Amino acid sequence: MSNTLNHWDNIYQTKDNVKLSWHQTQASISLNWILHYTNKEDAIIDIGTGVSVLGDNLIDKGYKHLSLLEISPNAIQTVKNRLKHSLEYVTFYNENILDFQSNTKFDLWHDRAVFHFLTYEKEQQAYIHKLKQHLKLGGYFLLATFALTGPKQCSELDVTRYNSDKIIQLLGVSFKLIKTTSETHSLPNGNTQDFNYFLLQKC
Ligand SMILES: C[S@@+](CC[C@H](N)C(=O)[O-])C[C@H]1O[C@@H](n2cnc3c(N)ncnc32)[C@H](O)[C@@H]1O
């Protein structure tokens, strides 16, 4: 097993999922933006879905073409168990995003707190290549990362923090920024973390 896989799978195996720092009872900003910018027939992928309830919420809203990608087998199994009555609406990819290959072209690519773990330019560019390859022209990239005022590490791993200028510079002319917002995420232990959300459109 790779180091990345081991690291994350061990977390999901040994820790109470609702006590994880990134845990959300509702993925409200992501859900609201997805509902506003897509329709129920659209193909949506959530990268590094973990055990997020975003997929459950989208199925409840009538979405039928969901893909959930996650490196940790334990996390994937938890979500599969939870969605056992809706499995026909979900394609699961248990793999590293940097290895992702699919014939599906997506209308929206969602990533909360995954891309920011890629701290080397080579990995960031490999991710962006996958994104461009799998997102339709006019499709949306909904990204949430730690803000410049957010933590420098999460789960003992370094992160890269972003504002709009940094993300626009990294993505280049193939994407235009539609909107952005910030969120102070409250952790189960009472601390907070500053996030930025970016909605970008492939052009
Ligand atoms: C901080 S958690 C966020 C989980 C989820 N997106 C959420 O908002 O609740 C990061 C997630 O990304 C997954 N992950 C990390 N690196 C990954 C990679 N290279 N490919 C796929 N998944 C990855 C981890 O296993 C973990 O579930």
Which amino acid is located at 16 in the chain? D
Domains of the chain: 27-53+96-202 (3.40.50.150)
Q: Which two tokens stand for residue 123?
A: 């990995």
pLDDT at position 2: 84
Confidence at residue 1, expressed as pLDDT on a 0 to 100 scale: 55
The residue contributing the CA closest to ligand 1 atom 13 is 48
**Amino acid 5: pLDDT:** 97
Q: Whose CA is nearest to atom 23 of ligand 1?
A: 48
What is the whole-number distance in angstroms between the Cα of residue 113 and the centre of ligand 1? Answer: 7
Cβ atoms 140, 37 nearer than 8 A = yes
Residues of the chain with pLDDT under 50: none
DSSP string over 148-198: TTS-SEETTEE-----HHHHHHHHGGGEEEEEEEEEEEEPTTS-EEEEEEE
- Count of all residues that appear for the chain in the document: 203
Q: From CA 35, how far away is CA 39, in angstroms rounded?
A: 7
Provide residues with CB under 6 Å of ligand 1.
4, 8, 22, 48-50, 52, 69-72, 75, 96-98, 112-114, 117, 154
166: alpha, beta or left, given left = phi > 0 and alpha = psi -120 to 50? alpha
**Could you tell me the distance, in angstroms and rounded to a whole number, from the CA of residue 42 to the centre of ligand 1?**
23
- Do 180 and 197 contact (CB within 8 A), yes or no? yes
Which ligand 1 atom is the nearest neighbour of the CA of 52? 9
